Amino acid sequence: MPAATQLTDVLKTLADPTRRAVFERIAREGEIAATGLVQGSKVSQPAVSQHLRALRDAGLVAERREGRHIHYRIAPKGLGPLIDWLGHYETFWAERFANLERLLKESE
C-alpha cells in the first residue's frame, strides 16, 4: 500500500471522536476485551465493533482471541505513518518537540 494511503487511513480513523475514544481507552487499559469497551460506551455494541474493525484495518490495534473474548491492544507501529509524516515538519514544532524530548529523558 502507498504510504500516503496508509497515512490517510490513520488520520481518517483517528479523526472520529468516538473511535478515537475507543483507541485511547485501549491504550489506557493496556489490553481490554470488546465487551469491556462496550460497557461504559455511549454507542451500541455494533458501533463499537465497527470502530474496532476500522482501527484494526488502519493497523492501529491488534487483537488476541481468548475463548469467546477478543482482547485488543495498541499496535505500536500503527502510529508510524503519522509520526513519519510529522517528521517533515520538525522545523515548525522544534520547540514543542524539545519538551517531548525532555519528558522522554525523564521517563528513562
Q: Which partner, DNA, a copy of itself, none, binds residue 33 by CB below 5 to 8 Å per kind?
A: DNA
The reply to whether 60 sits near DNA by the rule CB under 7 A is no
Minimum Å gap between C-beta 76 and DNA is: 20
The reply to whether 53 sits near DNA by the rule CB under 7 A is yes
DSSP 42: S
b/e 69-96 (16+ beta carbons within 10 angstroms → b): eebbebbeebbebeeeeeeeeeeeeeee
Q: To which H or E segment does residue 56 belong?
A: helix 45-57
Q: How many angstroms separate the CA atoms of 19 and 4, rounded?
A: 21
Residues 61-90 that bind a copy of itself (CB under 8 A): 74, 76, 79-80, 82-84, 86-90
Q: Which residues of this protein are in contact with DNA, per CB under 7 A?
A: 12, 15-16, 18-19, 33-35, 38, 42-47, 49-54, 63, 65, 67-70
